Amino acid sequence: MIVIIDYNMGNVASVKNMIKKIGYEAIVSNDISIIKKATKLILPGVGSFDHGVKSLKELKLFDVIKEKILLESTPILGICLGMQLLTKGSEEGELGGLGLIDGFTKRFSKQILEKNLKIPHMGWNFIKSENETLLLSDMELNSRFYFVHSYHVVCENPMNSTAITHYGYDFTCMIEKENVYGVQFHPEKSHKFGMKIIKNFLELVKCTEVE
């Protein structure tokens, strides 16, 4: 069962519609009993880091998500803010994240401003593979994706960064650690390229064994 976590922080309908186009059905829910039954989880998100953490905790989903990922090896895909929430924390706020990826979310450097680039990073951009990942299986060359963000993830372990994008400097735009996946861009707004990412997550990603 594919469950899109609804914590009032993103356009979950767009993600659900793309999944339907691929040929699958997904449930949008913040019901703990439904989330506990999920075989795949998707955590989208738009907005501030602390607000996202607070919303998950108010709905009593924060610990449920961690249990599903760490104890049951349920695959999860974080999208935009959802990816950032997978980290330990963010310069945007004071609350701790889910901590499923060893890394931290940081604001774009002043180096970008010096190059007359605006923050947020908004619009279409290309990605470059860094480490092997199932999410990029059979992906077209020069695939481009839609971004809207002012913060990006910095991984402690370089192997957890599976793709980068250049905006003033290179930054991580895709992360992976065992059954935890994240994309900084919006696949649901990225047409055929985004559809391929979600299709690969749904069809290629399997549960990993947790020792």
Report the CATH fold assignment for 2-203: Rossmann fold (3.40.50)
Burial of 192: CB neighbours in 10 Å, binned 0-12, 13-18, 19+: exposed
Question: Could you tell me if residue 12 is left (phi over 0), alpha (psi between -120 and 50 degrees) or otherwise beta?
Answer: alpha
Query: What residue ranges do the domains of the chain occupy?
Result: 2-203
pLDDT score for 208: 61
Q: Which of 92, 130, 176, 188 is catalytic?
A: 188
Active site residue 80: yes
DSSP-assigned states of every residue in 120-180: SEEEEEE-EE-S--GGGTTPPTT-EEEEEESEEEEESSGGGEEEEEEESEEEEEEEEETTE
CA distance 143 to 113: 26
Q: For residue range 58-67, list pLDDT tens digits in order.
A: 999 999 999 9
Res. 113 pLDDT band, cuts 50 70 90:
confident
Asked if the model's pLDDT at residue 210 lies above 60, the reply is no
Q: What is the mean pLDDT of residues 88-107?
A: 96
Asked if the model's pLDDT at residue 111 lies above 90, the reply is no
Neighbours of 156 (CB within 10 A): 12
Tokens 């861009």, located at residue: 185
Asked if the model's pLDDT at residue 207 lies above 80, the reply is no
pLDDT score for 141: 77
Q: For residue range 130-144, list pLDDT tens digits in order.
A: 999 999 999 987 899
Res. 115 pLDDT band, cuts 50 70 90:
confident
Q: Which of 80, 121, 130, 176 is catalytic?
A: 80
Q: What is the mean pLDDT of residues 99-116?
A: 92
Q: Which of 155, 186, 191, 209 is catalytic?
A: 186
Torsion of CA 80, 124, 194, 160, to 10 degrees: -50
Q: For residue range 149-189, list pLDDT tens digits in order.
A: 999 999 999 999 999 999 999 999 999 999 999 999 999 99
Active site residue 186: yes
